[in-house]
Amino acid sequence: MRSVIAVAAVVAVFVSAVPDAVAHHSFAAEYDANKVVKFEGVVTKVEWSNPHARIYVDVTDAGGKVTNWNLELAALSLLVRNGWTRTSVKPGERVKVEGFEGRGTNTYRVNATVVLTPDGRSLFASGGDDRPER
Amino acid sequence: MKSMSHSAMKRLVIALVLAAFAAPLLAQGRGDAQVRPEALGRTVRRPPPPSGPAPRLADGTIDLGGLWLGGGAIGDLEAQGGLKRGDIPVLPWVKEYMAKLDPNMEPSVHCLPMGIPRKWAYPWRMIQEPVPGKGAKRMYMLEEGGIHSYRQIFMDGRKHPAEPEPSWNGHSIAWWEGDTLVIDTVGFNGKVWMDRRGFPQTEKAHTIERYTRVNMGTLEIVVTIDDPDAYLKPFTVKFAAQLSNPQDEIMEFICQENNQVGIAGGYQQPHDFPVVKPPPGAATRP
Per-residue pLDDT at A124: 67
Share of chain B above pLDDT 70, in %: 81
More confident residue, A127 or B276: B276
Cβ–Cβ under 8 Å, residues B261 and B269: yes
Q: Which residues of B are less than 8 Å from A123 in CB distance?
A: 39-41
Residue-averaged pLDDT of chain A:
77
Q: What is the DSSP letter of B76?
A: -
Q: Which residues of B are less than 8 Å from A24 in CB distance?
A: 108-109, 145, 255, 259, 261
- pLDDT tens for A26-51 read 777 888 889 999 999 999 999 999 88
Domain boundaries, chain A: 25-124
The verdict on ipTM greater than 0.85 is no
- Residues A57 and A41: their CA atoms lie apart, in Å, by 6
Q: Is A68 on the interface with B (CB under 8 A)?
A: no
The pLDDT-based confidence of B219 (bands split at 50, 70, 90) is very high
Neighbours of B83 (CB within 10 A): 16
> Which range is least confidently modeled, B91-95, B110-114, B203-207, B224-228?
B110-114
Q: B18 pLDDT exceeds 80? A: no
Per-residue pLDDT at A17: 34
Chain B nearest C-alpha distance from A132 (Å):
14
- Return phi, psi of residue A107, to 5°: -85, -15
Q: Which of B98, B254, B255 lies closest to A25 in space, CA to CA?
A: B255
CA B157 centroid distance within chain = 26
Phi-psi region of B149 (alpha: psi -120 to 50; beta: other; left: phi over 0): beta
Strands B149-154 and B171-177: parallel
The reply to whether residue A19 touches residue B266, judged by beta carbons under 8 angstroms, is no
Q: B72 pLDDT exceeds 80? A: yes
Per-residue pLDDT at B32: 30
Chain A 71-90, CB below 8 Å of chain B: which residues? Answer: 72, 75-84, 88
- Residues B32 and B46: their CA atoms lie apart, in Å, by 10
Residues 6+ apart with CB under 8 A from A65: none
Per-residue pLDDT at B245: 83
Q: Is A59 exposed, middle or buried (0-12, 13-18, 19+ CB in 10 A)?
A: middle
Q: A8 pLDDT exceeds 80? A: no
The pLDDT-based confidence of B122 (bands split at 50, 70, 90) is confident
Q: Is A69 on the interface with B (CB under 8 A)?
A: no
**Average pLDDT of the residues in B72-80:** 90
Please give the C-alpha separations between residue B80 and each of B73, B121, B125, B174, in angstroms, as whole numbers: 5, 11, 21, 25
- pLDDT tens for B225-273 read 999 999 999 999 999 999 988 888 898 889 889 888 888 888 766 678 8
Q: What single letter denotes the amino acid at residue B234?
A: P
Chain A nearest C-alpha distance from B162 (Å):
35
Please give the C-alpha separations between residue B238 and each of B86, B118, B214, in angstroms, as whole numbers: 16, 11, 14
Chain A 95-124, CB below 8 Å of chain B: which residues? Answer: 102-105, 107, 109, 111, 114, 121-124
Q: At what angle do helices A2-16 and B6-29 cross, to 10 degrees?
A: 20
- Residues B237 and B79: their CA atoms lie apart, in Å, by 9
Per-residue pLDDT at B261: 84
Cβ–Cβ under 8 Å, residues A84 and A74: no
Q: What single letter denotes the amino acid at residue A18?
A: V
| Mutate: best of B21, B44, B242, B244, partner A, most A CBs <10 A | B44
Per-residue pLDDT at B27: 31
The reply to whether residue A50 touches residue B252, judged by beta carbons under 8 angstroms, is yes
Residue-averaged pLDDT of chain B:
83
Per-residue pLDDT at A24: 66
Q: Which residues of A are less than 8 Å from B109 in CB distance?
A: 24-26, 29
> Residue A26 is nearest to which of B17, B196, B254, comparing CB atoms?
B196
CA A36 centroid distance within chain = 12
More confident residue, B153 or B104: B153
Per-residue pLDDT at B229: 97
Q: Is A15 on the interface with B (CB under 8 A)?
A: yes
Per-residue pLDDT at B28: 29
CATH class of the A25-124 domain in this structure: mainly beta
The reply to whether residue A15 touches residue B248, judged by beta carbons under 8 angstroms, is no
Chain B 3-22, CB below 8 Å of chain A: which residues? Answer: 6, 9-10, 13-14, 16-17, 20-21
The span from the first CA to the last CA of chain B, in angstroms, equals 53
- pLDDT tens for B131-161 read 776 778 899 999 888 788 999 999 999 999 9
